[in-house]
Amino acid sequence: MGLGRFGGGVGVVRFLLQRGAEVTLTDLQTREQLAESLSQVDIDQLSQLVLGEHREMDFANADLIVVNPGIAIHENRFTKVALDHNVPITTEMNLFWERCRARRLIVTGTVGKSTTTALIHHLLSTNGVSCRLGGNIGISLLPDVETISPDEWVVLELSSFQLEHLVALKPRAEVAVVTNFAPNHLDWHGGLDSYRTAKQRALSWQLPGDVSVLHESLRDWETHGDRVLFGAECSSGSASVSLQQDRFVINFGGNEQEILFRSLPVSLNSPHQRLNIAASVAAVCSRFPISLSKIQQSLNSFQQLPHRLEEVATVHGVKFLNDSKATTPEATLAALNSIDSPFVLIAGGKSKNVDLSSLCQAISNRAKAVALIGETGPCMAEMISQANRSVELIVVETLPEAFTWAVQRVGSEEAVLFSPACSSGSQFANYAQRGEVFRHLVESHVKNLPF
């Protein structure tokens, strides 16, 4: 159920077809919208291809339903039909975990999950550890699950949705990392307590002797594994990676070592990226005998993920920053705090029923001008205006309109920052497509500039 415009269901379809299953692929989007994903599937092998709609009979008559993890199965009309007919429902990650023999390291949290997951995988793979990268980061390991040996590691990013669906399996990870916690996806989970419980499951399924890596603000969370903290205020007596003035202090077994911030590559040397590094180094040092000098070398060769405060271009002294992955107020706040120059902000999107007031206060103090789009645009505009009436702002319908307005107000040695603080909503399939639209707007703008 749901192939996805960026191929989220491709791995599942391939896996099922490889094993001779009769697969009905159904998606609410059209063939044209799914062209890229469909090109990765042998559609001639499908029993049925149903696009632009779902049909109740497909859900009532199936032997198994595999859903996108973002679908709340007890709320969705079609999955409720399946439940009424006692048809089992699962996800790609559940199918993978049922078959995976490898050792597991998982990363969850509200922000920083993808970068931390990719960074851990990079630190391990560049230092001789056999490992695979997958999960919510957009890579399905399911088609290759039977080729993954028990001696390998899988490094998985898991969303709260995926963790919720995994409840029946209670899967254990030898190393579990929680990057941070803040309100998010409350529209899906129904409240903050349910969202917190979903995140805590990554820890509750562990056993004594496993490793639980936590941001220091989560020190009160219950763990079964050996606790490792990271952050700015970790106690020196505990296993930790702390950020102190101009350096990381890595403490395991009473042996303190340091990495200076100035040794980091520019792409990783910002406050929020340093926290991602601290989480990654904590996870790696807790379980793997890799020297700090080799970790430093690997940090310098890491390629930053797209759509995460990504510098798309700098032209005539103006920086264009694509932070489309910022789908929470905390992520956008981190972006604001990472920019030293004046900037024009483009923000807004679909509401997730989270409090945006603190973010809007920060925007009112930091942004030169603000263009707002989407469902949250009007309410954000009101909060920003109430906090600081001198901030120039506009509410528009589309990202191209916001971009045109922003470039008319940005000056040399300033920046245009696209950091929505919200999910994509109806205008975009997801944050990645939204980020690509911004990238294309920048490229078109640069192409038409006089030089």
Point out the annotated binding site for ATP. 109-115
Q: Residues of 20-47 as b/e, b for ≥16 C-beta within 10 angstroms?
A: eeebbbbbeeeeebbeebbeebeeeebe
- Residue 329 has a CB neighbour count (10 Å cut-off) of 26
CA distance 371 to 384: 11
Residue 314: its H or E element: strand 310-315
Burial class (CB in 10 A: 0-12, 13-18, 19+), 211: buried
For the chain, the straight-line distance linking the first and the last C-alpha, in angstroms and rounded, comes to: 50
The tokens for 46 are: 């499908």
Cite the annotated binding site by residue number: 109-115
Nearest Cα to 120, choosing from 17, 211, 16? 211
CA distance 260 to 251: 15
Evaluate whether 118 touches 137 at the Cβ level (below 8 Å): yes
CA distance 423 to 434: 10
